[in-house]
Amino acid sequence: MNIRESMMKHFKALNTPGRLVASESLNEAYDYICNEFPNIRLHKYPTGKQFDDWEVPQQWDLISAELRDEAGNIIASSEESHLFVAAYSNSVDITVTLDELKEHTLTRDDVPDAFYLEHRLAYQYKSNDWRITVPKVRMDALKPGNYHVKIDAKRSDGYVGVVEYFKQGSSDKVINFSGHIDELCNDDMSGCIVGLALVDLLESIETKYSYQILLVPELFGTLFYAAENLEVIRNMACSIFLETLGQGETLTLKSSHKPHPYLKQCLTAAFEACTAQDEEPGFKECSFFEGYGNDERVLAWPGLDVTCFGIQRYPFKVYHTSKDTLDRIEPELLEQGYDIARKFIEILEKDCSPRFTSVLPPWLSKNKLYFDATNDPERFNKFNNMLFSLDGETPISELAHRFGLTFDECYDYLACFVEKKLMEFPTHI
């Protein structure tokens, strides 16, 4: 089974409706992942447990819901879309006027024929309220009168789960990849699927960095995990958030809140390597506060202060709507997201600060490492002139950037010196 087939297999199994914060659907997803990936750990944070200003919410599951007009005609229901009812709505069985209905109903102007993911009640899970979403074209067609709303939802004590894979390297410095497992399909089961593919990759290699994959319910999962695992958080060199990778307009590198030139350079090199064959510029960059924002806003918070980047496709036109479905996922885009993350790992693992083994310059032409300045001036300027910058402190990633080379071009050329014992590649962390 190739990487695309493997990712789509897991996607089909995990992309179930109703995966919101703490729910039976999420519990089923956790069970599947733990069965498929035996080296994964599931953290469970029980209902009512306190973490600073936060408290773990109850589990919320929607049983059924419907909206009918005075004649008994169904206008919308949970059978059509689980997004019809906002998570953590109260159960109700009431008749309301059109004006009262509008006070509790949300629509999307830009996607007028879709249901809308309304998650704000989840962040106010103790409020005594209910909300529904209805496609705008249907709401606009409603006439004044009475409407019957029936919501049957269940609250119960349970847990908020966090899926963690951890690979111990020779260094305790941690490279984290995160995706949020709740909500919809491209947002963000796609990021989780890429994260799970990275588990298989990391299981097959030895590493100098330590690596972590976290799949979390958005906000809550990262908050609770960070509160109980501050030692791991303190060791994070960076976190890469994987978001909307199966569909979206433009491949996007989301920059960190605080500059980190080295890690940004390595991630940019990974993007460049994986888009080199594109006819047009293969990706764009956005700032920390642009693009889609998720749990990087937790880890980058001043009290935790983790350097956070993002790999995402932005914008995704049907983001947070019922049109975010599996049939929109493009496996080749999913694989490209995986390739960028894989290449980033490869660059970090191979990067080092080369140094010559002797004080005199090596005999380049004898060792077939010389590019003729007259016949091949471009490679002479890039490769041979680069050798003057080898001071034992400058990493290959920086040398490649400085001289207009890809990381692989630079690494492969310098590796020839190592093979001939003219240079050393000391470990770089």
The DSSP line for 62-97 is EEEEEEE-TT--EEEETTT-GGGB-TTPPPEEEEEE
Same domain flag for 163 and 136? no
Same domain flag for 184 and 282? yes
Q: 233-282, pLDDT tens digit by residue? A: 999 999 999 999 999 999 999 999 999 999 999 999 999 999 988 766 78
Predicted pLDDT at 279? 65
Predicted pLDDT at 127? 82
Buried b (16+ CB within 10 A) or exposed e, 68-104: beeeeeebbebeebbbbbbbbbeebeeebeeeebeeb
- Whether residue 142 is predicted with pLDDT greater than 90 in this model: the reply is yes
In a domain, 112, yes or no: yes
In a domain, 122, yes or no: yes
Same domain flag for 344 and 404? no
Same domain flag for 265 and 339? yes
CATH of the domain at 213: 3.40.630.10
In a domain, 203, yes or no: yes
In a domain, 116, yes or no: yes
Same domain flag for 310 and 178? yes
Same domain flag for 50 and 64? no
In the DSSP assignment, the letter for residue 314 is: E
- Whether residue 124 is predicted with pLDDT greater than 90 in this model: the reply is no
Same domain flag for 88 and 135? yes
Angle between helices 3-14 and 189-203 (to 10 degrees): 130
Confidence of residue 45 (pLDDT cuts 50, 70, 90): very high
CATH of the domain at 102: 3.50.30.90
Predicted pLDDT at 429? 72
- Whether residue 28 is predicted with pLDDT greater than 80 in this model: the reply is yes
Q: Is the pTM of this model over 0.85?
A: yes
In a domain, 398, yes or no: yes
- 146 is in which domain, residue-wise? 60-156
Same domain flag for 233 and 346? yes
Q: Which of 109, 125, 156 is the last residue of a domain?
A: 156
- Whether residue 98 is predicted with pLDDT greater than 90 in this model: the reply is yes
Average pLDDT over residues 210-236: 97
Quote the mean pLDDT of the chain: 95
Pairing of strands 146-156, 59-68: antiparallel
Q: Which of residues 279 and 357 earns the better pLDDT score?
A: 357
Q: Which of 50, 301, 282 shows the shortest CA–CA distance to 160?
A: 50
Q: What is the number of domains present in the chain?
A: 3
In a domain, 320, yes or no: yes
In a domain, 429, yes or no: no
Predicted pLDDT at 269? 96
Q: Which of 156, 190, 224 is the last residue of a domain?
A: 156
Same domain flag for 170 and 224? yes
Rounded percentage of the chain residues whose pLDDT exceeds 70: 99
Same domain flag for 342 and 390? no
Q: Which of 284, 318, 350 is the last residue of a domain?
A: 350
Same domain flag for 330 and 378? no
DSSP, collapsed to helix, strand or coil, labels residue 15 as coil
- Whether residue 106 is predicted with pLDDT greater than 70 in this model: the reply is yes
Confidence of residue 137 (pLDDT cuts 50, 70, 90): very high
Average pLDDT over residues 221-237: 97
Q: Which residues contact 379 (CB under 8 A, 6 or more apart)?
A: 371
Q: Which of residues 186 and 277 earns the better pLDDT score?
A: 186
CA gap 145, 96 in Å, rounded: 8
Predicted pLDDT at 227? 97
Q: Which of 371, 117, 139, 334 shows the shortest CA–CA distance to 247?
A: 334
126: which 2 tokens?
């103790």
DSSP, collapsed to helix, strand or coil, labels residue 321 as strand
- Whether residue 428 is predicted with pLDDT greater than 80 in this model: the reply is no
Contact of 350 with 395, CB cutoff 8 Å: no
Same domain flag for 320 and 405? no
Predicted pLDDT at 345? 98
Q: Which of residues 197 and 127 earns the better pLDDT score?
A: 197
Average pLDDT over residues 332-361: 96
Q: Give how far the C-alpha of residue 93 lies from the chain's centroid of Cα atoms, to the nearest Å.
A: 39
Angle between helices 331-350 and 261-274 (to 10 degrees): 130
In a domain, 279, yes or no: yes
Q: 308-331, pLDDT tens digit by residue? A: 999 999 999 999 999 999 999 999
CA gap 412, 169 in Å, rounded: 24
